[in-house]
Amino acid sequence: MKGIDRMVDPWMSFPAAATQRYVHGDWGTSNVLVEPESTTTVVAVVDFEDSHVGDPAEDFKWQVLAGPESPDYAAMRIGYRIAGRTLGPKAGERLALAGAELCLDVLRWEVPGDRVVAFRDRCLQTLDELLSGRLPEPP
């Protein structure tokens, strides 16, 4: 991560990037490798093909899709706070937008077999939660 920070930091002084950050774009359990004995100790982050300059709320989209009350989202939120990070103004709304965008994207996927029902139901439930005003608690 330090090497990536060093490469990206000069770009962050551009006026267009004043409210943006370098985001992974696909921050989920399959792309974060942790110590087996201590699942809060990150060993490596992989798969940077979706990385870009954007809203840091985007890196929470998979956890928001799991539901605003999900343990996955709570763990990421707490980890972000421990790292001393903040999402800044209107974070709840931006998190909801990132999660809703992913839900709509996933609903278009062609998922085989029984998994399609689980994916569809989770996405619809999350969209319902977000639209009813249950915004994710920001880190």
In a domain, 117, yes or no: yes
Convert 17-55 into a string of H (helix), E (strand) and C (coil). Answer: HCCCEEECCCCCCCCEEECCCCCCCEEEECCCCCCEEEC
Q: What is the pLDDT of residues 108-123, one digit of tens each?
A: 888 777 777 888 898 9
CATH number at residue 110: 3.90.1200.10
- Containing structural domain, residue 30: 2-131
Helix orientation angle between 115-131 and 91-106, rounded to the nearest 10 degrees: 150
In a domain, 136, yes or no: no
In a domain, 139, yes or no: no
In the chain, the number of structural domains is 1
CA atoms within 13 A of residue 128's CA, in its CB half-sphere = 6
For residue 68, pLDDT over 80 is answered with no
Top pLDDT among 35 and 18 is at: 35
In a domain, 124, yes or no: yes
